[in-house]
Amino acid sequence: MPKAIIAPSVLACDFANLQAEATRMVKNGADWLHLDVMDGHFVPNITMGAPIIKCLRPCTDAFFDCHMMVSDPAKWVDDIAKAGGNMYTFHIEATNDPISVIHQIHKAGMKAGVALKPGTPVDVALGDVAELADMILIMTVEPGFGGQKYKEECVAKALTLRQRYPHLDIEVDGGLALDTIDSSAQAGANVIVAGSSLYGAPNPHEVIATFRSKVDEAQKQWIQ
How many domains are contained in the chain? Answer: 1
**To 5 degrees, how large is the angle CA 23–CA 26–CA 29?**
150
Of the residues 79, 128, 173, 216, only one is catalytic, namely 173
Phi-psi region of 174 (alpha: psi -120 to 50; beta: other; left: phi over 0): left
- For residue 175, say whether it is annotated as part of any ligand binding site: yes
Buried b (16+ CB within 10 A) or exposed e, 179-203: ebbebbbbbbbbbbbbbbbbbebee
For residue 213, what pLDDT is reported? 96
| Greatest CA separation for the chain | 47
For residue 148, what pLDDT is reported? 64
Could you list the residue range(s) of the whole structural domain that residue 113 is in?
5-222
Q: What is the dihedral of CA 149, 139, 188, 22, to 10 degrees?
A: -80
- For residue 145, say whether it is annotated as part of any ligand binding site: yes
Read off the pLDDT of each residue in 107-111 and give the average, rounded to a whole number: 98
Q: What is the dihedral of CA 198, 203, 204, 206, to 10 degrees?
A: -120
Q: What is the pTM of this model?
A: 0.94
- For residue 103, say whether it is annotated as part of any ligand binding site: no
CATH (domain of 93): 3.20.20.70
* Cβ(65)–Cβ(35) below 8 Å: yes
For residue 146, what pLDDT is reported? 61
8-state DSSP, 123: G
Annotation says 134 is catalytic:
no
For residue 151, what pLDDT is reported? 77
Annotation says 173 is catalytic:
yes
pLDDT of 150 > 70? The answer is yes
R_g of the chain computed on alpha carbons = 16
Euclidean distance between CA atoms 95 and 89, whole angstroms = 12
Euclidean distance between CA atoms 10 and 60, whole angstroms = 13
pLDDT of 45 > 70? The answer is yes
**To 5 degrees, how large is the angle CA 154–CA 135–CA 119?**
25
Read off the pLDDT of each residue in 143-152 and give the average, rounded to a whole number: 71
Euclidean distance between CA atoms 114 and 135, whole angstroms = 6
